[in-house]
Chain A
Amino acid sequence: MISLSVNGVAQSIDADPDTPLLYVLRDELGLHGAKFGCGLGQCGSCTVLVDDRPTFSCLLPIAALAGRKVRTIEGLGTPDRPGALAAAFDVEQAAQCGYCIAGMIMRAQALLERNNRPTEAELRTYLAPNLCRCGTHMRILRAVRRAAAAMGGGVQESSR
């Protein structure tokens, strides 16, 4: 059994130690927000926070997680009580298929927790590890700007 802290709750997991965190979240804990996209750390759809840093959960074996805090999109809110980013994504209608969105929100959450006044260029660079194939980028950027404002900050213009 391996012990994990997920969204503030201690969990005991019966899984091989080399099992990537993503499979434990989705298959053992019923947390489906993080998605399997590539298993290679190339697309970001599996992004969760580990000790407040955005992490590819598809690559990280649970053996490496003892004593570390995992946060997933389910820990940020619910449709009835959405977090700032989820609410902003809804207002901006920032989804098409939506498969990448949980990962986008978790990466943006990590950014805004550390710096809620990024420049536009910093925002785009920070989100670069996460892929969206529907081309929802413009709306995702608008949503993160909106959430930054809601969290007391704001995204600053920058020349590209």
Chain B
Amino acid sequence: MNGLTRRSLLAKGGLVVVFASSGAAWAQEPEEAANLPGDLDKYPFLDSWIRIDTTGRITVFTGKAELGQGLRTALIQIAADELEVSPASIDLIMADTGRTPDEGVTAGSHSMQNSGMAILNAAANVRALLTDAAAWRFASSIDQIELQDGTAYGPGGRRLGYGDLAAGFSLHVMAKPDVPRRSKGRRLIGESVPRVDIPAKVNGGSAYVQDIRAANMLHARVVRGPSDGTQLKPADIDAVAKMPGIEKVVREGRFMAVLAAKEWHAVKALRRLQAAGWERRDSSLPSADLCDVIRQSPVRDNPIFNYPGPSAPADARIVKARYSRPALMHGSIGPSCAVALWENGNLIVWTHSQGVSPLRKSLAELVRLPLEKVRCIHVEGSGCYGHNGADDVAADAALAARAVPGRPVRMQWMREQEHGWEPLGSAMVVELHGALGRDGRIVGWRHDVWSNAHNGRPVSAGGLLAGAELEPPFAPQKPQPIPMPEGGGDRNANPIYALPNASGTHHFVERAPLRVSALRSLGAHMNVFAIESFMDEMAHAANADPVDFRLIHLQDSRAREVVETAANRFGWKRRVKGRPGRGYGFGFARYKNLGAYCALAMEVTIEPDGGTVDVRRVVAAVDSGEAVSPDGIRNQIEGAIVQSLSWTQMEAVTFDTSHRTSFDWSAYPIMRFPSVPASIEVDVIDRPGEPFLGTGEAGQGPAAAALANAIADAIGHRLRDMPLTSERIKAALRS
């Protein structure tokens, strides 16, 4: 590797660090190519994705990151399957700006679609090249070549390992489109291969960026007010600098960090600085309900969809409803953390950011280094579920490291900093207006959604908290809506049902009282909650069964199969209706109308005095295209259901006019074990040969809606404003 120097940074764990002084080492610039699957289209050279050394060891590269969603294992499975080797013979390098293709951000349930499809097809190309090489070496035809476990077998018992074969040709060649996949029986794809990261995680192995302990490393804490929009009052910084163990207080503009060899000393210094008190820096937060503020703010209107059809007849039954969601928190269990090293004018940052490439660009601007002098390497952190403090803490670490060249700096946020400063999922309002014909079919549909932005990820220094604190400050990024078909606030606002005379508008609210960005599923959680609640309200008006009502409006055959599978497995038709305090709900969506299909049925009981909801049973069906790891898909859907139940039942970010008041787990409670469902069952519908569809966000909307529908079924009152708390249930029961 040209221009690379090696140094061992990490004292423990045996991680060898390779510093790319000349930037992206060999993940070459994108070139024009035929239409290739996934991100192979952006990086068509095979050696961007797959390399084979002379011993036959295979290294696979992806620009996507393991976030706890099981991607590492799934991508190894794909490559091993297509290359006909065991998973153990593959090393997978993930999300490192010095080594891997730039695949943007690991988000939007895109990894299997973009990186999985790229690796699958790159591997098919490499397998074809290995077969050709073996045929040439054995002077045989390619049909006589058999690849197995890293060895090519030819006629007459001849055999050569992949290492020998690969030494004879270059993988720095463009992928060809339409190289067929291995046609003989499936072996690894479709198997629930145990996740490769789990043994370390369940035995206390060092698995996270928080665990990095490098020789000569300093621990750092950043010094900020209690939440977004606040700042600390002046403190006696000289006194803090003299506290035991404090090596340095870094100050640049309003940015401040304390550095110490022992972590506890840095924490104590931070606490002393915080004791000076704080004040609001930005304009006051609204005292009115946040959803009302969003609903009444100036907007930029964007049409979402418009399906023609005759106007609803005069005798059509009109149904209207308004739904709302408060601001929600990602709530990572581990506060954000990064390790940075500034050395010889180069900056390396180990980060759990979802987007190492945009982060690298933003950091280069922040610290005023040329792009090629900055490298970002992904290391797992605590689960993020979207844009949390990961990027901001990387910037904090970089600024701190610049002040102590040659010394690695480990910067970790405190709990109240994560709660106080992480970008939130926007509060949202949806208004739905439907018309029902005499035949019980929908003859008109109108969807209006109000929301702040759902993408504040950094693409420049102004997108990082520290960027606003330097002097002069970097200009903040202007919030923008995400265009359809993926959408942001309007994600999944476009119903998958076949509806005539239907339209929708995204009322984009630029001015955000609270800091907002991408939270798992973006607007889909709210839009699906609203649409699927409304489908039940319409079904009720039509005196129809909620599942039957969905099916008569559903033409997509895969959608129908998912709905029918969930209903049948649950025993929907056999449910006993009308038992007091017991209800059944259904919810369905295809994520973004582009990703995985997910339907689920839920049974709840409600204790009438306290209004407490017990989720007794959840049965889900999911179609993620060709299922690489059925258990991986189940794990993601189970998790999405539990997380969405927590969001939908009990979560809301609180604030007063001066700051966020959701500063820890007591002020922002999330679901604990006694409240999780008694059982969750997930049925995976496998579609061999179909493209992989991302699964990670498919369950959030359907789970929220099924809960609302089950509660309405149980108590005979519809709750339309999240969170669906026991207090609101009690109030509805009293009314």
Q: How far is the CA of A37 from the CA of B418 in the complex (A)?
A: 10
The answer to whether the Cβ of A153 comes within 8 Å of any Cβ in the partner chain is: no
Q: Which residues of A contact B631 (CB under 8 A)?
A: 93
The answer to whether the Cβ of B713 comes within 8 Å of any Cβ in the partner chain is: no
The answer to whether the Cβ of A12 comes within 8 Å of any Cβ in the partner chain is: no
Q: Which residues of B contact A127 (CB under 8 A)?
A: 673
Q: Which residues of B contact A134 (CB under 8 A)?
A: 68, 383, 639, 643
A70-91 CB contacts (< 8 Å) to partner B:
72-74, 76-79, 82, 85-86, 89-90
B335 x A98 contact (CB < 8 A): no
The answer to whether the Cβ of B459 comes within 8 Å of any Cβ in the partner chain is: no
Mark each residue of chain B from 393 to 429: 1 if its CB lies under 8 Å from any CB of chain A, else 0.
0000000000000000000101100000000000000
Q: How far is the CA of A42 from the CA of B663 in the complex (A)?
A: 12
With A42-B664, A99-B383, A133-B385 in contact, do A32 and B204 touch (Cβ < 8 Å)?
yes
A133 x B331 contact (CB < 8 A): yes
The DSSP consensus for interface residues of chain B is loop
The answer to whether the Cβ of A100 comes within 8 Å of any Cβ in the partner chain is: yes
A23 x B641 contact (CB < 8 A): no
Picked from B202, B206, B635, the residue with its CB within 8 Å of the CB of A89 is B202
A30 x B213 contact (CB < 8 A): yes
The answer to whether the Cβ of B579 comes within 8 Å of any Cβ in the partner chain is: no
The answer to whether the Cβ of B482 comes within 8 Å of any Cβ in the partner chain is: no
Q: How large is the interface on A (under 10, 10 to 19, 20 to 34, 35 or more residues)?
A: 35 or more
The answer to whether the Cβ of B686 comes within 8 Å of any Cβ in the partner chain is: no
The DSSP consensus for interface residues of chain A is loop
B204 x A72 contact (CB < 8 A): yes
The answer to whether the Cβ of A20 comes within 8 Å of any Cβ in the partner chain is: yes
The residue in chain A whose Cβ has the minimal distance to the Cβ of B204 is: A33
A35 x B334 contact (CB < 8 A): yes
The residue in chain A whose Cβ has the minimal distance to the Cβ of B219 is: A27
Picked from B198, B267, B639, the residue with its CB within 8 Å of the CB of A98 is B198
A135 x B642 contact (CB < 8 A): yes
Picked from A30, A31, A40, A78, the residue with its CB within 8 Å of the CB of B664 is A40
B643 x A23 contact (CB < 8 A): no
A74 x B665 contact (CB < 8 A): no
B665 x A77 contact (CB < 8 A): no
The answer to whether the Cβ of A110 comes within 8 Å of any Cβ in the partner chain is: no
A128 x B672 contact (CB < 8 A): yes
Q: Which residues of A contact B673 (CB under 8 A)?
A: 123-125, 127-128, 130, 137, 141
With A39-B414, A135-B640, A135-B641 in contact, do A45 and B202 touch (Cβ < 8 Å)?
no
The answer to whether the Cβ of A6 comes within 8 Å of any Cβ in the partner chain is: no
B639 x A93 contact (CB < 8 A): no
The answer to whether the Cβ of A136 comes within 8 Å of any Cβ in the partner chain is: yes
A96 x B635 contact (CB < 8 A): yes
Minimum distance in angstroms from B672 CB to a CB of chain A: 5
Picked from B202, B265, B677, the residue with its CB within 8 Å of the CB of A95 is B202
Q: Which residues of B contact A160 (CB under 8 A)?
A: 614, 678
Q: Which residues of B contact A78 (CB under 8 A)?
A: 203
Picked from A36, A72, A74, the residue with its CB within 8 Å of the CB of B335 is A36
Q: Which residues of B contact A151 (CB under 8 A)?
A: none
The answer to whether the Cβ of A155 comes within 8 Å of any Cβ in the partner chain is: no
Minimum distance in angstroms from A22 CB to a CB of chain B: 9
Q: Which residues of B contact A131 (CB under 8 A)?
A: 333, 665, 670, 672
B262 x A15 contact (CB < 8 A): yes
B672 x A42 contact (CB < 8 A): no
Minimum distance in angstroms from A92 CB to a CB of chain B: 10
Mark each residue of chain A from 15 to 50: 1 if its CB lies under 8 Å from any CB of chain B, else 0.
110111001001100111111111110110100000
With most chain A CB atoms within 10 A of its CB, the pick from B264, B631, B643 is B264
Q: Which residues of A contact B676 (CB under 8 A)?
A: 124, 137-138, 141
Minimum distance in angstroms from A36 CB to a CB of chain B: 7
Minimum distance in angstroms from A144 CB to a CB of chain B: 10
B641 x A73 contact (CB < 8 A): no
Q: How far is the CA of A136 from the CA of B68 in the complex (A)?
A: 11
Q: Which residues of A contact B665 (CB under 8 A)?
A: 38, 40, 42-43, 131
Q: Which 3 A-B pairs have the closest CB atoms?
A: A33-B204, A97-B68, A135-B642
Spell out B's residues near A (CB within 8 Å). Answer: 12, 67-70, 192, 194-195, 197-208, 210-211, 213, 219, 244, 262-265, 267, 330-335, 380-383, 385, 412, 414-415, 614, 631, 635-636, 638-643, 646, 664-666, 670-674, 676-680
For this complex, 26 residue pairs linking A to B, each with C-beta atoms less than 8 Å apart, are A16-B264, A23-B263, A26-B211, A27-B219, A32-B204, A32-B211, A35-B208, A35-B382, A40-B665, A77-B203, A78-B203, A79-B200, A86-B199, A95-B197, A95-B202, A96-B639, A97-B383, A98-B68, A102-B201, A128-B672, A128-B674, A131-B333, A131-B672, A136-B635, A138-B680, A141-B676
